[in-house]
Every structure is written in C-alpha cells, then in structure tokens.
Amino acid sequence: MLIDRSHIPWGLASALAAGGASWWYVADAPRHLSGPSGSTLVGLTLGAAALGIMLFCTALSLKRKAPHRRLGRASTWMRGHIWLGLLACVLVALHAAFRLGGPATALLWALLALVTLSGLFGLLLQQVIPRLLLHSVPGETIAQQVERRLRDLSGLAEQVVVRFAGSLDEPAPAWDAAAPSPAGPPAGGEPIRRFHLDHLRGYLSGQAEGEIDDPHRAENLFHALRTMTPEHAHAGVDELEAIYCLRRDLLRQRRLMRVLFAWLLVHVPLSWLLLLLVLAHAVTALRFWT
C-alpha cells in the first residue's frame, strides 16, 4: 500500500476524529473529582470505539482468507487499517487517561506499541521495496510465479547448450571448424558445454556456489567465454547470460518479497493477541463497572 493522495481524506478524517475525541475528553475532565478515567462515560465510549477499530483492523486478515467475496475493495480496507489504527492509539490513550496502570494494562500498552511500530515498519517497507523492485528488478514477476520460473531456467539453459554444443555431458562432435555443419550444431560449441557444466548448471539449480555467484566475476566469465567461441556461437553465449541475469533478478526479487512479507509474521500474531487481551480487559472492566 503506497501512501498517495488517496490517503488525504482518510488522514484528515482521522485527525478530525482524534481532535473531537480530545476535545470531549478535556471538556469532560473537570466534572470528575478524581479526574478522567476509563470508567467514565467518555472513557467507556472512547474505549469501545478503540475496540471497534481493533476488530475492524484484525478483520483485514480474515478478509484476505476470502479474496473473492465482495466485502469492499482491498485498497479501502488497507487505508482504513492504517489511519483508523493510528486513531485507535489516540483513543486508547484518552480512554486510559494517559496512565500506564497496573501490570495488566501495562502489558496492553506494550502490545499496542509493538503492533503499532511493526505496522508502521511494514508500511515503510511497502514504500521502499516496490521502488527497489522497479529499479533493480526490471523484469519483475508475480510473486506466486517466481519459484516456477526459477525451476524452468535450468531447462532453458540446457536447450541452449544442446542447440549450440550438441550435447550436455558428452563432448560435442568434431565438426568442420570452417563452417557450421547442416547435420548438427554449429562448430566451436564445446566451450559453451564446458562453461555450463563448470559454472552455470550448479548456479541455476541452486546446488552449488562458485565464481558466477558474483555479478562482476560472472561478467568476466561470460566475456571470456565469448573470446573462446566463434562469432556464430555468440548468440548462445548471449542467451545463457540472459538466463543467468534473469535468475539473478528473480533471486533478488524473492529476497525482497520475503523481507516485505516477513514482518507479517510479527505484526499479525501480535495483533490477534492484543485483540484477545483487550476483549478480556473489556469484559472484566464492564463486570466491575456494572
């Protein structure tokens, strides 16, 4: 979710709601000899509003379980999740009268802080990582297809080797070096086969590491391969280098996407834990209040 102009109405509405709640809190405070607290009508109302927002925010994870149901646009849910979540922090502070309270409420404050900070961190990642993908991964692939495309690259490279060297594991037949033979692959393809066996096959399968893992060394290796092959085989070298670059970009995209989604492993469980403890807090508080 990128922060753009579409967030302005949400930000303004949340700011107005926070301002209105603060004004109500300040106006009501002198009426209570012991000062404002969560047990007053204002405190209970603001606490109930914060709880409602928390229910809405945690419901986003449930909506993702049913993406095909018509429950509103995902972008609208995300904007509400962001801005109403921030508004909930203000409402909770007003509900608690800015007091830390006992151990139980201190735990709720700590969880609220962790949920909010992890959410803001995830929002920051969503502003940065898509731009990194745009500039460093020109051929960005849909996240669900990255693994399949990585698996397909080995087969594509083998097809190139067979086309230009005649074989994957056995030495290519000795053709006339003067010109390609119409009965087989072009002459001079043996360096391509050897390069594939020594460097590229292990890299594409992810089962070996070597010089080709370093982009600068890989560039030198491909340059050296071109000097060892005749001009008519350079097209094969170009195809292998393109396959190598595609795998490098896909791996970079996979790393960035894993970072982008890893924060959810922290944010979502903490959000549910916070909601459960807040519900328990609300039930307990209402029992004492009544």
Q: Tell me the pLDDT tens digit for each residue of 206-243.
A: 876 677 888 899 999 999 999 999 998 999 999 999 99
Q: Give yes or no for a contact between 190 and 196, defined as CB atoms under 8 angstroms apart.
A: no
Residue 28 structure tokens: 């009501």
pLDDT at 262: 87
CA distance 85 to 125: 18
Close Cβ partners of 263 (under 8 Å, ≥ 6 residues apart): 118, 121, 122, 125
pLDDT at 138: 58
| CB distance 191 to 228 below 8 Å | yes
Residues 88 and 94 sit within 8 Å (Cβ to Cβ): no
Which pLDDT does position 168 carry in this prediction?
A: 81
Q: Rounded to whole angstroms, how far apart are CA atoms 103 and 100?
A: 9
3-state secondary structure 173-189: CCCCCCCCCCCCCCCCC
**Long-range contacts, 123-127 (Cβ 8 Å, 24+):** 123/1, 123/3, 123/82, 125/259, 125/260, 125/263, 126/1, 126/2, 126/260, 127/2, 127/3
CA distance 118 to 141: 27
Q: Where are the domains of the chain?
A: 5-139+263-289, 143-258
The token duo for 124 is 């920051």
Nearest CA to 277 out of 109, 100, 67 is that of 109
Residue 229 φ/ψ, nearest 5 degrees: -120, 150
Q: What is the DSSP letter of 263?
A: T
Model confidence at 118: pLDDT above 90: yes
**pLDDT single digits (tens) 128-152:** 887 777 766 655 556 678 888 899 9
**113, burial (CB in 10 Å: exposed 0-12, middle 13-18, buried 19+):** exposed
pLDDT digits (tens, 9 = 90+) for 266-277: 999 999 999 999
**Average pLDDT taken over every residue of the chain:** 86
Confidence grade of residue 66 (pLDDT, cut at 50, 70, 90) = low
Q: What is the distance of C-alpha 10 from the center of its chain?
A: 24
> What average pLDDT does the segment 11-36 reach?
93
Distance CA 44, CA 194 (A): 75
